[in-house]
């Protein structure tokens, strides 16, 4: 019997992941801190065309794009004369399990089956679990979902509990855990005990699968409007959504500006048992978006294929109340009822459209399914039960964990810019911490790619850090 203590299991991480993915990540390490990201992406053995073929075979992708005429008109009423871009949404809720994450799951499950694995394991708060469970059911593999679901009192958010029900309905075995470091530990144990494939959110198979979303979007607008969209807004959490979509846009020859959007949960710790149920969004928020942007490799893979700072042109945040508000507006004005977390990008797009000219196009890149627990009403009722005050007013005054403020009028819904240069410097600081040598030209070039920044910026940041 192997030592099953926390320290021993996490100490075997590299070995466990190598066996559970079938890739030796050490081969991508380069000089000093650098690693070859493109080699990692290419070594899956699947081209963009392969991902498209696999997804079509299992009913994933080719999702529709809708123009939101009424929300566009509302944005124009709030904007200066001549402003108010056309707002579109790509409806990823039409995938079998109800989210874009099925694009991540399709190739991962396909590859697991191809390589002879009997089942797949995924650690997730829910939407991805449903996607993996759906694909495993279609492709005839067993599925285990490890889910951080409850606080220490056994209380779970209605959204997370809803996701667990969906995973189970699709045939998965769901291991529900309390908040804390046991999620990663239990996932490693499951992989080691079962010998199943690690269908990680952060594998190159998963991120490659999301490239089809950006590729579709680029081609759909060329066919429909005869031009690229000007801005694509992407909900950002762990960074895989943004990374894959942006890479797909590039492969489609689309030159749209890529804007990341997250719900502002500043001040709440995602690892705090006390604060776990004081947030109303379990994904697409700054509690994931910021740490995964500045430290992408703190995932369940030796090197994460989700590296969002390489691709984002701008990063904005919206408040919880603003996302709930736009969810209601989408239903009331456009007749489309979608899950609130998937409307993070739409809330940002509604605000950003008001900065743009009327002949320009802005796209909210995804939607998600809604259901009994994911609907905004049970989420707001749960918030009130946990002592969160629900108010109408100016959302800029919202304090995460204390209140949720809905805009008193639509003009108060505002996307707020994050300091991208601050995030870039933070990534450089993390990646150079503890170094005892001067960085080589190859390491400088790697940091330029990681931060999507100039050599002058990287060298100035290193000088400021004393590296």
Give tens-digit pLDDT for 198-246: 999 999 999 999 999 999 999 999 999 999 999 999 999 999 999 999 9
Which pLDDT does position 148 carry in this prediction? 87
Question: At residue 414, what are phi and psi to the nearest 5 degrees?
Answer: -135, 130
Q: How confident is the model at residue 12 (pLDDT cuts 50, 70, 90)?
A: very high
Of 75, 164, 112, 33, nearest to 434 by C-alpha is 33
Q: What is the pTM of this model?
A: 0.96
CATH classification of 59-97+210-417, choosing from 3.40.50.1820, 3.40.50.1100, 3.90.110.10, 3.30.413.10? 3.40.50.1100
* Domain pair 6-54+99-204 / 59-97+210-417, same fold: yes
In whole angstroms, give the CA distance from residue 373 to residue 434: 45
**What digits encode the pLDDT tens for the residues 118-175?**
999 999 877 899 999 999 999 999 999 999 888 888 898 899 889 899 999 999 999 9
**Residue 8 CB contacts under 8 Å (≥ 6 apart), including other chains:** 2
In whole angstroms, give the CA distance from residue 100 to residue 210: 8
Question: At residue 202, what are phi and psi to the nearest 5 degrees?
Answer: -110, 15
Asked if pLDDT for residue 371 goes beyond 90, the answer is no
Say if CB 239 and CB 307 are below 8 A apart: yes
Average pLDDT of the residues in 275-286: 87
Mean of pLDDT over the chain: 94
CB count, 10 Å around CB of 180? 15
Choose between 1 and 453: higher pLDDT. Answer: 453
In whole angstroms, give the CA distance from residue 301 to residue 312: 22
In the DSSP assignment, the letter for residue 55 is H
In whole angstroms, give the CA distance from residue 6 to residue 273: 19
For the chain, the domains span: 6-54+99-204, 59-97+210-417, 420-465
6-54+99-204 is classed CATH 3.30.70.1350: no
The alpha carbon torsion through 310, 312, 316, 322 (nearest 10 deg) reads -110
CB count, 10 Å around CB of 162? 23
Choose between 182 and 439: higher pLDDT. Answer: 439
In whole angstroms, give the CA distance from residue 50 to residue 113: 15
Q: Where are the beta strands (DSSP E) in 205-281?
A: 231-235, 257-263
In whole angstroms, give the CA distance from residue 358 to residue 259: 19
CA separation, residue 280 to residues 320, 340, 354, 376, 403 (Å): 7, 10, 27, 9, 10
Average pLDDT of the residues in 298-314: 93
Average pLDDT of the residues in 391-412: 97
Give the strand pairing for 416-417 and 314-318.
Answer: antiparallel
Say if CB 283 and CB 242 are below 8 A apart: no
The alpha carbon torsion through 368, 374, 377, 381 (nearest 10 deg) reads -140
């Amino acid at each position: 019997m192997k030592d099953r203590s926390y320290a021993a299991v996490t100490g075997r991480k590299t070995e466990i992941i190598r066996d559970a993915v079938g890739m030796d990540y050490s081969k991508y390490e380069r000089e000093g801190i650098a690693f070859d990201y493109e080699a990692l992406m290419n070594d899956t053995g699947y081209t963009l065309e392969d991902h498209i073929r696999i997804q079509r075979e299992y009913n994933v992708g080719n999702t529709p794009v809708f123009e939101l005429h009424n929300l566009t008109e509302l944005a124009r009423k709030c904007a200066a004369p001549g402003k108010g871009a056309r707002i579109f949404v790509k409806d990823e809720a039409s995938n079998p399990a109800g989210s874009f994450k099925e694009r991540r799951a399709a190739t991962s499950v396909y590859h697991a089956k191809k390589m002879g694995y009997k089942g797949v394991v995924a650690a997730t708060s829910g939407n991805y679990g449903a996607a993996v469970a759906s694909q495993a059911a279609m492709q005839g593999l067993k599925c285990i979902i490890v889910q951080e679901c409850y606080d220490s009192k056994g209380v779970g958010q209605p959204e997370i509990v809803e996701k667990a029900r969906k995973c189970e309905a699709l045939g998965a075995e769901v291991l529900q855990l309390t908040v804390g470091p046991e999620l990663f530990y239990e996932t490693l144990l499951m992989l080691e005990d079962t010998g199943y494939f690690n269908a990680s959110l952060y594998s190159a198979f998963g991120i490659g699968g999301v490239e089809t979303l950006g590729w579709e979007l680029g081609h759909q607008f060329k066919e429909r409007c005869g031009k690229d969209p000007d801005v694509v807004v992407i909900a950002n959490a762990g960074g895989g959504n943004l990374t894959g979509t942006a890479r797909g846009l590039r492969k489609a020859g689309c030159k749209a500006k890529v804007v990341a959007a997250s719900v502002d949960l500043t001040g709440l710790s995602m690892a705090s048992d006390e604060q776990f149920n004081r947030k109303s969004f379990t994904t697409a928020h700054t509690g994931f978006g910021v740490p995964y942007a500045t430290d992408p490799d703190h995932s369940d893979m030796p090197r994460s294929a989700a590296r969002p700072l390489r691709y984002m042109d701008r990063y904005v945040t919206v408040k919880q109340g603003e996302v709930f508000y736009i969810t209601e507006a989408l239903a009331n004005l456009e007749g489309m009822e979608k899950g609130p977390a998937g409307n993070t990008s739409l809330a940002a797009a509604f605000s950003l459209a008001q900065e743009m000219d009327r002949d320009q196009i802005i796209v909210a890149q995804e939607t998600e399914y809604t259901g009994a627990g994911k609907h905004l009403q049970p989420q707001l009722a749960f918030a009130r039960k946990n002592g969160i005050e629900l108010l109408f007013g100016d959302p800029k005054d919202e304090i995460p964990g204390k209140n949720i403020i809905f805009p008193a009028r639509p003009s108060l819904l505002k996307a707020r810019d994050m300091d991208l240069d601050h995030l870039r410097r933070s990534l450089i600081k993390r990646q150079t911490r503890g170094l005892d040598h001067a960085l080589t030209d190859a390491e400088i070039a790697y940091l330029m790619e990681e931060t999507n920044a100039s050599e002058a910026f990287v060298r100035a940041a290193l000088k400021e850090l004393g590296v």
